[in-house]
Chains A and B, each alone.
Chain A
Amino acid sequence: MTDMALLEVRNLKKHFPVKKGILSRTVGYVRAVDGVSFSLRKGETFGLVGESGCGKTTVGRSILRLIEPTAGQVVFNGQDLLTLDVEELRQVRGSLQIIFQDPFSSLNPRMNVGKIIAEPIRNHLKDTKAQTRDRVAHLMESVGLHPDQMSRYPHEFSGGQRQRIGIARALALNPMVIVCDEPVSALDVSIQAQVINLLVELQEKMNLSYIFIAHDLSVVEHISDRVAVMYLGRIVEMATDRELYQNPQHPYTQALLSAVPIPDPEAGRQRILLEGDIPGPLNLPSGCTFHTRCPKRMEECSQKEPIFKDQGNDHWVACHLI
């Protein structure tokens, strides 16, 4: 897609086997991620949006190989991460980090904050105790926590503070890429703003690249440079942030954007209401997987799969209308 890509995801697939019976025979596959391609440039934020179950988390975790993808390539610094062995993977891990949605369950409740943040340092670097301590203190400061709270435990912190702890841990090894999986969804609005601002600041300071996963379209728009919209395991539209939000081409993107409540009581607007629910990923609809809900579907939509094409200006759409 571009030669400036820091990370390139090509045709990524993850199919979870569905097992049944006492012999746990595989009776089918959940095609959670079904051919996703995109690239991440240095210093940019790439937003990934879509409704619950569309495969966002699976994409994020497959990239880091926290789950093993079924097929595809993830090229980082010229290396395909999916072909690395355990030791090789360990060496690049420091450069690729993840922040989780749930600041409550993602931190070990029995470790104090200093230990939690120091863990990746101890696993990867040969720092002395004092060096590690200094580093942790510095990391805590950079995310707005007091270093003198190092010996406290996660339950003594609020949601927003716990998310800061998660960010500090992700920063410990000077990563280049951070996958942020719904990092603010569990937080109150006023706390969300603190964490979003922090992520933006750190990005500028450390030249980080983010893959920012969220279902909240306003948050994604705010933080991203480019955005991809997922539906049932595939990207249906991808463009720069401004282009996608001002000129959505795919009927699903159009409906999604029209459904976002606008915090302005005077903003009258037309809403595109979709029929029905999202189909389960076990039996994907034929042809265009959105055809069961698409207000603009045509004959061919249930038969032929639309191709994901560039409209020029790096605006990609998968729809027969285009």
Chain B
Amino acid sequence: MSEQSEPLLAIRGLRTRFHTYEGVVNAVDGLDIEVFRGETLGLVGESGCGKSVTALSILRLLRCPPAEIQGQILFDGTNLLDLDQEGIRNIRGRDISMIFQEPMTSLNPVLTIGEQISETLRRHKDMTRREAWGRCVEMLRLVQIPGPKSRSKEYPHKLSGGMRQRAMIAMALSCNPRLLLADEPTTALDVTIQAQIMTLMVRLKEEFETSIVLITHDLGIIAEMASRVVVMYAGKMVEEAPVKELFKDPRHPYTQGLLGSIPVIGRKFDGGQRLQEIPGMVPNPLEMPLGCRFNPRCPRTMSICHQQEPPVVRLADHRRVSCWLEANKRDD
């Protein structure tokens, strides 16, 4: 991640809202993110904070309306939001692909694994049927599916959960995408299978120099996989930091609370059995609090927090915090 190089993906001022019967949900509300070549960016935050909507906005997989997307999503200099349907379809699967928590969202139940992967290849890579089939078997072998030749002739429902997840990863990587959006790729899996998949993703990333946006709520996975982390809360970025800094020196009260609230093996023997809690719950997206959206749960709320949204304070390159505590420090 050299400082001069251009980011592969630059999200600028992304706003994604849903026009619903009850009102407007501002699911993503002014997000700026950069992803560089070959890096893994972690995206964490509580349920409903807008992680999936961010990924789906990048690939324009949301139906508009009810969704409405504003801002810029620059992929290698091209604003994806300006492309027509044909343009974005050419990017999907070829340059950017996505893996989901539930593999059946992207696998077609009536096609065999082999048919699905080779169809993607023939569409994007101009391969013959035979070439595509060969590559498909090679990909399945790469993701460590035993007996890839016979497995490629099977339908998705015949495979176990871990196997399906691997097949989806094989499909997502078959065209050597430059960017992989992985939305909770291992959440539904057992830890031993999760360990297999994570090891696999690291290996494939190194082999193909793919950039990854890794969405998860699991801070353990973030610590092991990500080089840089963006923490989101209620549709906004609250903190960004290189992974080691985030764990060593979290600045935003929400990040601090999050890190304190996870049980860590062995810790109770020196720290006692009480976990730190973040009181209350995430705000209703239809009734966001005024000022800082974290203020009803923040142990350090000040009066300004109720009145005005905190600015994003840039402490260093890719080290940002959105909190009045940091802003006030700067003013002194």
Please report A residues at the B interface, Cβ cutoff 8 Å. Answer: 51-52, 158, 160-161, 188-194, 196-197, 200, 215, 217-219, 221-223, 242, 245-246, 255-267, 271, 273-274, 276-278
Contact = CB atoms under 8 A, between A and B. Distances in A.
B150 interface: no
Contacts of A200: 273-274
Contacts of B162: 277
Interface in B180-219: 190-196, 198-199, 217-219
A265 B244 contact: yes
B190 A52 contact: yes
B196 A274 contact: yes
A217 B262 CA distance: 12
A261 B221 CA distance: 6
Given A263-B220, A266-B244, A274-B192, A190 B263 contact: no
Interface in B133-158: 146
Interface stretch (B28-36, B102-110, B264-272): B264-272
B47 A51 contact: no
Given A259-B191, A261-B221, A264-B247, 20 more contacts: A188-B217, A188-B282, A189-B261, A190-B46, A190-B257, A190-B277, A191-B281, A193-B260, A193-B261, A196-B275, A215-B190, A218-B220, A256-B191, A256-B192, A257-B265, A261-B224, A263-B262, A265-B223, A265-B243, A271-B199
10 contacts: A51-B191, A190-B261, A192-B261, A200-B274, A217-B191, A259-B194, A261-B218, A261-B224, A263-B223, A263-B247
Contacts of B163: 277
A257 B266 CA distance: 12
A258 B191 CA distance: 9
A45 B257 CA distance: 26
B160 interface: yes
Contacts of A218: 220, 262-265
Nearest to B229: A265
Given A190-B278, A194-B277, A276 B191 contact: no
Nearest to B186: A261
B35 to A, nearest CB: 19
B308 interface: no
Q: What are the 10 closest A-B residue pairs judged by CB atoms, nearest first?
A: A261-B220, A222-B263, A193-B261, A259-B195, A51-B190, A190-B278, A193-B275, A259-B191, A263-B219, A265-B223
A265 B196 CA distance: 19
Given A188-B47, A261-B221, A221 B265 contact: yes
Contact of A197 (B198, B265, B275): B275
Given A52-B190, A161-B281, A265 B224 contact: yes
B192 A51 contact: yes
Interface of B: 46-47, 146, 160, 162-163, 190-196, 198-199, 217-224, 243-244, 247, 257-269, 273-279, 281-282
A271 B258 contact: no
Contacts of B160: 277
Contacts of A245: 265-266
B263 A221 contact: yes
A222 B275 contact: yes
Contacts of A258: 195
Contact of A273 (B196, B217, B224, B273): B196
Contacts of B217: 188-189
Contact of B220 (A215, A221, A257, A262): A262
Contact of B262 (A189, A215, A257): A189
Nearest to A54: B190
B302 to A, nearest CB: 21
